[in-house]
Amino acid sequence: MKWRWALADGWTITLRDLKHWAAQPWQIVFGLLFSVMLVLMFGYLFGGAIEVPGGGDYREFLLPGMFAMTMLFGLEATYTAVTTDADRGVTDRFRAMPMAGSAVVVGRASADMLNSVVTLAAMAVCGLAVGWRWHEGIAPAAGAFGLLLLLRFALLWMGIWLALVLRSPEALMALQILVWPLGFLSNVYVSPATMPGWLGALAEWNPLSATVSAARELFGNPSWDGGEHAVLLAVLWPLALIAVFFPLSVRAYQRLSR
């Protein structure tokens, strides 16, 4: 059956990426160190200057937001990996092989998700070490981690599509310029209510804000007001992004010139 063929081809590409990481583990290590550095920097350098709603612990407030930011920052790594393969002719060689049209992008996404799981686990361990805890039980906490990974899954399809459309390593700088405002224009660090009206509205409708609010709710951590229906929005936003960018990514790969 075609779908079994597509899954087998996708898994082959996934194993290829995993072997590359095993041969160059410093890429994973540096990514983990960057995530841990962000937690320590924001938790200890800036934590004393920010008032937490209800007087809660700032690091418990911070960690769900940092988890989501880490999922967002991985967009650049996805873009770099896809454009590097295209620039070196690897993508053209894959296209010349008798494999499913979706195999390369699905394999890239699968490998990326495995990396995201490792990164999120490392972030959670770091959070526990600095005083963060969840308070609503294992099942809600697992749900929060699941929503964070769902956001990552949606964002990586956006990264794959951008890489296949732009096909330029130099465009990474433009992507970085967009990623940082998207991350900070949210409820991760400050309440949207403290922003100018139009800016606060953008922050509230940021998919990142929905996931952060939902994660804080499920973890039982302090949160800003205005998180109504956060869990529902944290599901709907990523599903909408996947529905848009997954077919666009497959189509963009299939239309690449040989």
| Residue 117 neighbours by CB distance under 10 Å | 13
The residue written with tokens 């999922």 in the block is 71
Confidence category of residue 102, pLDDT binned at 50, 70, 90: low
Minimal CA–CA distance to 68: which of 109, 140, 124? 124
| Residue 57 neighbours by CB distance under 10 Å | 16
Give CA separation, 113 vs 106, 116, 149, 151, 254, in Å: 10, 5, 8, 11, 22
Q: What string of H, E and C letters represents the secondary structure of 19-77?
A: HHHHHCCHHHHHHHHHHHHHHHHHHHHCHHHCCCHHHCCHHHHHHHHHHHHHHHHHHHH
**231 φψ region: left (φ > 0), alpha (ψ -120 to 50), beta (else):** alpha
Mean pLDDT of the chain, nearest integer: 80
Q: Please check the confidence at residue 4 and state whether its pLDDT lies above 70.
A: no
For the whole model, what pTM was predicted? 0.85
pLDDT single digits (tens) 166-182: 777 677 677 777 777 88
Query: Which tokens sit at 167?
Result: 């096909």
Report the distance separating Cα 161 and Cα 248, nearest Å: 6
User: Do 222 and 52 form a contact (C-beta atoms < 8 A)?
Assistant: yes
Q: Which domain holds residue 33?
A: 2-254
Q: What is the tally of structural domains in the chain?
A: 1
Minimal CA–CA distance to 62: which of 88, 32, 93, 40? 40
What pLDDT is recorded for position 190? 75
Q: Please check the confidence at residue 143 and state whether its pLDDT lies above 90.
A: yes
Give CA separation, 225 vs 26, 52, 175, 188, 190, in Å: 40, 11, 31, 13, 11
